[in-house]
Structure 1
Amino acid sequence: MRNVIGILLDRKTYLGILQKQTGYEHIDYYNKAAIELEMTPFYMCLKHISTKTALGLCYENKKYTLKRLPIPKVIHNRAMTLSTFSQKKLKDLAKISQIFNGQNRHDKLRIHRMLRASSGSSAFLPSTIAYTRNNLDKAISRYDSFFVKPTNSSVGIGVLKVSAMPGQIWQVWWSKQIPKQLNKEQTIDFIDEKVRGKSYLIQKTIPLAMYEGRPYDLRVSVQRGDKGQWGVTGIAGKIAANGRHVTNLARGGEAMICENLFRSNGFDPIQKREQVEKAALQIAESLSEKIPSMSDVGMDIGIDDQGEIWLIEINGRDQRYQYKHLNLNKTFYRTYETPMLYAKYLLGK
């Protein structure tokens, strides 16, 4: 059998392979890349992995075969391991295999603190503090606008936005509700009730550049490739839906070619893209010094109305579908090919 590369999936995704019901995972692209690189993809989930072997699906000769094989030497992790059991099993697996992107859910406040200690990356960080009721009181005194975000969630779930209004009134956006207009004490009580007992942070609002009156940011796919070095595989714009404060496609946002967004704000599209790529690579290099297994991330990067670049957050399991929305099929494919190139590089080492 040719070089075997393990691809670790969530159980639901793994069970959907034969029915071609794998959600956001475009499994056919892994298969195509593996064929071109003369490798054999071996799809697994943690439930079917024992001490030394795994039961999984091999893709060979354009078909899947259920096999029990020795644990592959290199594994690309695409599973979300949130439970204590799954985290322990992944940790045990890492003792006998080189797992890249093993940790793919990153605490936002921890990431911020890591980057704040890096001289090269700290300039891209908006003001951010841990949530406490006391810190919320300070934020209301210091900022005209800020977000209160869960430190461990994705696709914009649980995010509150707070903005100052005339007359010492604060406007608070929460979920799909109509924004509330509250005084200071009411604002603090409302937010504290929503987040009490959970891990949240407070982040000063970036005055994002706008497109047709709607704020936008960028999803930047940053991955290690065939020589083990970081590269930017693709960039796509995400525009918030009318009246919304988050740009996530899953929350009604719209994908757009990033160069078109840059032009709409009078930015040089080639220069601005180069600046974004340079910033993303700097951030990736800084983080991988602290988290060595990090190798495949989606960064949400904002550009303010003056053209300055800001890191909004890091997504450890970039779902990549923004490129499919934009019919950027070559870029979409490369986001699957690049991790396979990196896997082959690791095998060669």
Structure 2
Amino acid sequence: MSNVIGILLDRKTYLGILRKQTGYEHIDYYNQAAVELGMTPFYMCLKHMTMKSALGLSYENNKYTLKRLPIPKVIHNRAMTLSAVSLKKLKDIAKISQVFNGQNRHDKLLIHRMLRASANSSAFLPPAMRYTSDNLGKAMNRYESFFVKPTNSSVGKGVLKVSVIGNLLWQVWWGKQPPRQLDEQQAIAFIDEKVNGQSYLIQKTIPLAMYKGRPYDLRVSVQRGAKGLWGVTGIAGKVAANGRHVTNLARGGEAVICEKLFYSNGFDPLVKRAQVEEAALQIAESLGQQIPSLSDVGMDIGIDHHGEIWLIEVNGRDQRYQYKHLKLNKTFYRTYETPMLYAKYLLSK
């Protein structure tokens, strides 16, 4: 079974394969890419794995077969392992298999510190610091606007935006609620209540370029491919909903072709896309040197009014569905094909 590639999924996604209910995961694209590359995809979840074997679904001859196989030599991790037990099990499996993207939920502040230490990437970072009462006070003295966001969440959950509106008044956005106008002490109390002792960071607001009066950023899919090298597989724009402060599609944002956004701001679409790709590759290479298993990420990258490029955050499990929204079907397929190319490269080594 030297051509078997393990694909590790969340249990719910794994159990949904035969019912074709796999959420954001387009399993058929993994199958198509693997077959074209002469490989056999073997779908697994941690619950049904031991240190020697796994019970999973093998895709061969256009059908799935439930099998118990030895742990594959190469595993592409798409499962979200958040509990201590699942993390330990995945780390143990990684001792006997090449698991790429093993840890796929990364602390935002840790990523910031890693990139801050890199000469190639530090220029793309907006100022950020860990949330504490003292640091909140510093941010309110230094910045006209900033975000307070969880260090370990995704799709814009739990994010607050804080902006000064004069005379010691602050506007605070939280969730779907209308913004609140609070004095300084009220704002501090409200933010502290929402943070509630959890791990948060404070990040200076990037004055994002706008599209039809709404801020936008970019989701950039950066993946290792056939030769183990980083490449940009696709870029999609994400425009915030009216009155919202986050651009995530899961929070009402709209997917828009990136060139359309660039053109609307007077940026040369070809030049700006090339600049974004170069920045994303520099960031990925910097992080890859410090997190060796990193291989498949979705970066949120912002462009300010002047065309400067900023990293907002790095997502270790890119959901990729923005390309489906935009009917960029070839790009959507390549985001599944590229990890399979990387898996084949690892097998050949």
The bucket for the TM-score relative to the shorter chain is: over 0.9
Aligned to 2:87: 87
Counterpart CA distance in 2 for 1:155 and 1:252 is: 11
Q: Any conservation in 2 of the 1:129–1:201 contact (CA below 8 Å)?
A: yes
Q: Residue deviations 1:157-181, cap 9 Å, x none?
A: 0000001112220000011111110
Aligned to 1:119: 119
Aligned to 2:26: 26
Counterpart CA distance in 1 for 2:80 and 2:15 is: 15
Query: Does 244-253 or 171-180 show the bigger shift?
Result: 171-180
Aligned to 2:310: 310
Q: Residue deviations 1:228-274, cap 9 Å, x none?
A: 00000000000000000000000000000000000000000000000
Aligned to 2:7: 7
Q: Displacement, 1:323?
A: 0.1
SS at match of 2:5: strand
Counterpart CA distance in 2 for 1:48 and 1:120 is: 42
Aligned to 2:168: 168
For 1:228-267, list aligned pairs within 5 A: 228-267=228-267
Aligned to 1:57: 57
Aligned to 2:148: 148
Q: Any conservation in 2 of the 1:171–1:182 contact (CA below 8 Å)?
A: yes
Aligned to 1:136: 136
Counterpart CA distance in 2 for 1:43 and 1:182 is: 51
Q: Displacement, 1:137?
A: 0.7
Counterpart CA distance in 2 for 1:8 and 1:268 is: 40
SS at match of 2:67: strand
Q: Displacement, 1:2?
A: 5.9
SS at match of 1:293: coil
SS at match of 2:139: helix
Q: Displacement, 1:322?
A: 0.1
Letter in 2 for 1:300: D
Q: Percentage identity across aligned positions? A: 81
Aligned to 2:201: 201
Q: Any conservation in 2 of the 1:161–1:245 contact (CA below 8 Å)?
A: yes
Counterpart CA distance in 1 for 2:95 and 2:284 is: 24
Q: Any conservation in 2 of the 1:104–1:316 contact (CA below 8 Å)?
A: yes
Query: Does 334-343 or 166-175 show the bigger shift?
Result: 166-175
SS at match of 1:238: strand
Counterpart CA distance in 2 for 1:279 and 1:50 is: 40
Counterpart CA distance in 2 for 1:224 and 1:253 is: 28
Aligned to 2:293: 293
Q: Residue deviations 1:130-175, cap 9 Å, x none?
A: 0001110110111000000000000000000001112220000011
Counterpart CA distance in 1 for 2:295 and 2:2 is: 24
Counterpart CA distance in 2 for 1:19 and 1:229 is: 35
Q: Does 1:348 align with 2:348?
A: yes
SS at match of 1:215: strand
Aligned to 1:105: 105
Counterpart CA distance in 2 for 1:147 and 1:51 is: 43
Counterpart CA distance in 2 for 1:93 and 1:289 is: 22
Counterpart CA distance in 1 for 2:246 and 2:31 is: 34
Counterpart CA distance in 2 for 1:304 and 1:119 is: 21
Letter in 2 for 1:347: L
Counterpart CA distance in 2 for 1:104 and 1:264 is: 34
Letter in 2 for 1:258: C
Aligned to 1:329: 329
Q: Displacement, 1:346?
A: 0.2
Counterpart CA distance in 2 for 1:34 and 1:152 is: 32
Q: TM-score, normalised by structure 2?
A: 0.99
Q: Residue deviations 1:81-116, cap 9 Å, x none?
A: 000110011011001100000010000000000000
Letter in 2 for 1:30: Y
Q: CA RMSD in A?
A: 0.6
Counterpart CA distance in 2 for 1:88 and 1:163 is: 41
Counterpart CA distance in 2 for 1:159 and 1:101 is: 25
Q: Any conservation in 2 of the 1:2–1:38 contact (CA below 8 Å)?
A: no
Q: Displacement, 1:50?
A: 1.1
Gaps of 5+ in 1: none
Counterpart CA distance in 1 for 2:262 and 2:135 is: 35
Q: Displacement, 1:196?
A: 2.2
Aligned to 1:178: 178
Counterpart CA distance in 1 for 2:274 and 2:30 is: 28
Counterpart CA distance in 1 for 2:187 and 2:197 is: 17
Counterpart CA distance in 2 for 1:342 and 1:271 is: 28
Letter in 2 for 1:104: N
Q: Displacement, 1:51?
A: 1.9
